[in-house]
């Protein structure tokens, strides 16, 4: 089936989209709360944040494979070329950020000499010996990537609302149905 014949995203893509939206929102909120608090619950939230970060990395890889294997609705024909380019570019940046966030978190933990336990199912060992300088670099990178991801998500939401409320061209609806 060609892109022009597809009117909605396949169910698997919608499940990945909305499931990852909930997961990423949770991870971002947990990350923000962890850096703002030294409460006793922080240790538990940190362990969950690390484990779900690994889940997010696995999910984004599966999502990308799924995305590359299935036809998706074409952007509206009357959409200006610069907006089509911006849509494609922002999606590439979103995928890059969704991959870079958990990788930078894992590298940060590795540089701290810590393994990452994933719900007691398996453990990712540190990739390097403890190194405070590299820990600082990866921690800073992880923080900046979080801000970039938030901005990209807000741009994504704004574009979706513009399609749904202003243009009313079916783009937003194609991810709901």
Tokens of 38: 């030294």
- What percent of the chain lies above the pLDDT cut of 70? 97
Show the domains of the chain with their CATH numbers: 11-176 (1.20.950.20)
Cα-Cα end-to-end distance for the chain:
18
pLDDT digits 0-9 by tens, 52-67: 999 999 999 999 999 9
- 104 Cβ neighbours under 8 A, 6+ residues apart: 138, 141, 142, 145
Question: 23: which DSSP letter?
Answer: H
- Its pTM stands at 0.92
Inter-residue contact 33 to 45 (CB < 8 Å): yes
- 54 Cβ neighbours under 8 A, 6+ residues apart: 102, 106, 116, 118, 124
pLDDT digits 0-9 by tens, 144-175: 999 999 999 999 999 999 999 999 999 999 99
Residue 39 pLDDT more than 90? no
Residue 4 pLDDT more than 70? no
How many whole angstroms separate alpha carbon 108 and alpha carbon 141? 9
Three-class secondary structure of residue 124 per DSSP:
strand
Q: Return phi, psi of residue 118, to 5°.
A: -110, 85
pLDDT digits 0-9 by tens, 96-114: 999 999 999 999 999 999 9
């Amino acid at each position: 089936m060609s892109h022009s014949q597809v009117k909605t995203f396949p169910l698997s893509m919608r499940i990945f989209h909305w499931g990852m939206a909930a997961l990423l929102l949770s991870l971002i909120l947990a990350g923000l709360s962890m850096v703002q608090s030294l409460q006793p619950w922080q240790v538990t939230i940190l362990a969950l944040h690390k484990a779900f970060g690994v889940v997010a990395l696995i999910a984004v890889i599966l999502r990308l494979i799924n995305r590359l294997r299935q036809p998706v609705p074409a952007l509206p024909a009357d959409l200006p070329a610069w907006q089509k380019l911006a849509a494609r570019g922002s999606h590439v940046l979103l995928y890059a950020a969704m991959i870079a966030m958990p990788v930078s978190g894992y590298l940060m933990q590795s540089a701290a000499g810590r393994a990452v336990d994933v719900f007691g199912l398996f453990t990712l060992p540190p990739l390097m010996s403890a190194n405070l300088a590299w820990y600082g670099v990866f921690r800073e990178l992880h923080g900046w990537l979080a801000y970039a991801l938030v901005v990209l998500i807000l741009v994504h939401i704004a574009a979706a609302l513009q399609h749904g409320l202003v243009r009313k061209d079916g783009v937003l609806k194609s991810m709901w149905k």
